[in-house]
Each structure stands twice: as structure tokens, then as C-alpha cells.
Amino acid sequence: MPQFDSILFDLDGTLWDATSVTADIWQIVMSHHPEIQNKIDLDTVQKYMGHTNEELASILFPDMPFEEGYALIMESCREENRLLRERGGILYADVREVLTGLAERYPLFIISNCQAGYIDAFLAYHGFGHLITDYISSGDMGMAKADNIRYICRKHGLLKPVYVGDTGGDCMAAADAGCPFIFASYGFGTVPAEKCTAVLSSIRDLPLLLR
């Protein structure tokens, strides 16, 4: 395993699972629009984890003008940010201990394809703000994940970062940004082993893997 100078994390499927909250919110949002018959349940939310909100507007509402579908996505995002600060998501086992230990040795970052305010809700609910050096989402500046990886690396002068994520999109973004990729196989996606620097079956294995 190469020596890294920083660790970049995806959020959903890597550090926590907030899909049950997201699915509940979609039930609320769709109840406000009874004329729309699209079904968005827990299976749907889990299936499309990792996509940007712009992509989700087209995926979830393919027969609707983009602007209308995107407005529904933004409605759910506003409610999601609020509710996640109250309920949180399900933190994966050992995440707190692992992040606390790693933060003593590496600067830690979160880079996610979520709306602005989502990562803030995660940090606030679990009290992780002091462990994370910086973070950025696709909703902050409208950039793709690969561009956000490059942005964080330039901003903080990172020379040997590694990205930890759980989907094929994470893997492709890391490769596009020239960043090694560790696959969190316990998350939502699948990635061929040959495309990964390493594979995690549990985040508790990450510190030992890095050593």
C-alpha cells in the first residue's frame, strides 16, 4: 500500500446510511404533489445513491420537464437537510473510532455528490466537525466529483491523497482525478477489484490497511 498524505471520503454508503430518512422525505414530498404518480421508495433511493441531484431529476422524473423534476429534487433536499440534523442517518459500525484515530495521523476530507448543507447535517448530528479538515459537495459549486477531488487537492496542497468510496462512480471520479481508490464494498455499489487500490469489507480495516 503506498504512503498517503490525506484521506478523502465519500459519505453515503461509506460513512453512513441515510436512505431510510431520504425515503421518508420522498413520501412527504410526493404527498404534496398527488398528481405525480412516480414511485420513490427505499429500494429506489438505494438504487440511485451516488448520483448528482441534476442526474436524479432526469432519472426519477424522466417524463417531466427537467426544471420541474429538479424543483422536486430541491424540495426534498431542503427537507432532508433539516430532518437529518434532527434524526441523523445510520452511522456504520466503528466509523467514529476510525475517524478519530485517523484524524491524528492524516487530514481527513469528505467529497460527496449531495446538495449543499447535507455534509453539514452529517457533521452536526454526529459531532464530527473537529475531525474533518474540509469538505465539498456537488451542490456547493456545481462541480462533478472528479473536479471536486482536484479542487480539494489544490486548495490544501495534497500530493498523495486516497479516495474511499462505495460506487463505480466514485471509482471513475478518483481515476479521472488521478487519485488511488479504496472500495468500501459494504456500501451501495459494486466495483471490479482490479480497478481498486484495495477493497474494504469494513471501515474498521482501513487504519491497518493504510499502515
* Whether residue 131 is found in the same domain as residue 148: yes
What is the total count of domains within the chain? 2
Q: Is the pLDDT of residue 184 over 70?
A: yes
* Whether residue 70 is found in the same domain as residue 170: no
Identify which of 124, 46, 143 has the alpha carbon closest to the alpha carbon of residue 86. 124
Integer Cα distance of 21 and 30 in angstroms: 14
* Whether residue 38 is found in the same domain as residue 95: no
Q: Do the domain assignments include residue 1?
A: no
Kindly report the pTM of this predicted structure. 0.90
Q: Is 70 exposed, middle or buried (0-12, 13-18, 19+ CB in 10 A)?
A: middle
Indicate the pairing of strand 16-17 with strand 181-184.
unpaired
Distant-in-sequence, close-in-space partners of 173: CB < 8 Å, separation ≥ 6: 144, 145, 146, 149, 163, 165
The 161-165 sheet, strands edge to edge: 134-137, 108-112, 6-9, 161-165, 181-184, 198-200
Q: Do the domain assignments include residue 62?
A: yes
Residue 36: Cβ within 10 Å count: 16
* Whether residue 172 is found in the same domain as residue 68: no
Q: Is 159 exposed, middle or buried (0-12, 13-18, 19+ CB in 10 A)?
A: exposed
Integer Cα distance of 209 and 100 in angstroms: 16
Domain termination site, one of 58, 87, 116: 87
* Whether residue 78 is found in the same domain as residue 145: no
- What integer pLDDT is reported at residue 2 of this predicted model? 58
Q: Do the domain assignments include residue 138?
A: yes
Query: Given pLDDT bands bounded at 50, 70 and 90, which one contains residue 50?
Result: confident
Integer Cα distance of 14 and 112 in angstroms: 10
**pLDDT per residue over 131-157, tens digit each?**
999 999 999 998 999 999 999 999 999
Q: Do the domain assignments include residue 12?
A: yes
* Domain extent at residue 192: 6-17+89-210
